[in-house]
Amino acid sequence: MSELVYGLHAVEVLLKRSSDRVERLYIQSNRHDQRSHKVVKLAQDKNIEIIQKERQELDEMTDQRHQGVIAVCRPEKKKSFHEKHIPELLSQIDEAPFILILDGVTDPHNLGACLRSADAAGVHMVIAPKDNAASITDVVRKVACGAAETVPFIPVTNLVRAMKQLQEAGVWIAGTAGEAEQDIYQANLKGPLAIVMGAEGEGMRRLTRENCDYLIKIPMAGEVSSLNVSVATGVTLFEAVRQRIK
């Protein structure tokens, strides 16, 4: 069964990384901008069939925001990761492990944005609960702009057990919480590290919080008490990147 990949950036990444999966490309007939021309040129270079369609016809193919471009492709043979793969993935890392844990992020747009930030920051894996949390979907893939295919995403049945696995392997776990005494600029975010981001609104669950090695926070100067989880993830990850580069 074929899959649809839509959106300019997502389709561009697909054509660059896995063009052999693309069966044909639908492009909005009245689009003549530079970004759409770039996608069309990539498809032409790979001898992929290009079909022009009216905007309404593309809207009928998907109810998502397609930006005038939809690729029809063969399903990717993805490796599914499970909790049992954590030790194997850790053993393959030749530097200090850098891990993101998402404790119950439910919005697929937030998950996609978190994966995109994780990929950009060089995170080695993303761990999240299997239940009551967002999983990898077409929407997540589009928002992630290719990161859903590059960063191992590991849904686990027991998040605390997975955290203990990391700790036993020498990874320190820093949980983000508004009541933390030290902020991300004071904390040591170097070395083997996993950063835990809580769910939208509620933050980390009690057991997750209790099993962190220490808590950190983003200092807030304004009246708003918290940031969107995907924004907070990006801020925290890149402070860790700054420290680890230094």
CATH number of the structural domain spanning residue 11 = 3.30.1330.30
Could you read off the pLDDT of 211-220 as tens digits, one per residue?
999 999 999 8
Residue type, 211: N
Distance CA 223, CA 225 (A): 6
Range of the domain at 195: 83-245
The pLDDT of residue 224 is: 66
The pLDDT of residue 246 is: 66
191 part of a folded domain: yes
What's the total number of domains in the chain? 2
**Tokens representing residue 91 in the block:** 């053993």
Distance CA 190, CA 230 (A): 21
**Tokens representing residue 4 in the block:** 């649809």
51 marked ligand binding residue: no
90 part of a folded domain: yes
Burial state string for 50-73 with b = 16 or more CB within 10 A and e = fewer than 16 = eeebeeeebeeeeeeebbbbbbbb
Query: If residue 134 lies in a helix (H) or strand (E), which one and from where to where?
Result: none
198 marked ligand binding residue: yes
**Tokens representing residue 28 in the block:** 């909005």
203 marked ligand binding residue: no
**Tokens representing residue 123 in the block:** 């995170």
The pLDDT of residue 220 is: 85
The residues of the chain scoring below 50 in pLDDT are: none
The pLDDT of residue 99 is: 98
